[in-house]
Amino acid sequence: MNKDRFASEIKSIMDEEVKDIELSQELKDRIFKYRKKGLKEKINEFLNKEIEIPLVSVVAISSIIFLIIALPRGLFKIENTSVINIGSSQIIIRDERSLDKND
């Protein structure tokens, strides 16, 4: 209990001593500048940071990524085959036949 009273006395003495002291704006700014920032503050600062990006490059890169990953492949590349009757047999003629022939 005596300890608490002592602390409050010290505090009131300190308040009395410094009540007429005023910090200049410049000093305030310096203190702010050199104080240690919190993580949340850092993140907020980063998120609100404005960056400049080249529009054409971004659109081009996005489109390429989209084309590579997202667009369906071979959707309209349907193998062109036809079936012919040779006697009573059915023979399938397909596009890559000429490749085989050159083998």
Question: Which positions touch another protein (CB under 8 A)?
Answer: 46-57, 62, 66, 69-70, 72-76, 78, 82-94, 96-97, 100-101
**CB-wise, 21 or 51, nearer to another protein?**
51
C-alpha to C-alpha distance for 59 and 57, rounded to whole angstroms = 6
When the beta carbons of 39 and 55 are compared against another protein, the nearer one is 55
What is the distance of C-alpha 61 from the center of its chain?
15
CB of 35: closest distance to another protein in angstroms?
Answer: 23
Identify residue 25 by its one-letter amino acid code: Q
Residues with Cβ within 8 Å of 85's Cβ and at least 6 positions away in sequence, in order, are 91
Within 10 angstroms of residue 51's Cβ, the number of other Cβ atoms is: 4
Find the shortest distance in angstroms from Cβ 55 to another protein. Answer: 5
Q: Cβ of residue 94: shortest distance to another protein, in angstroms?
A: 6
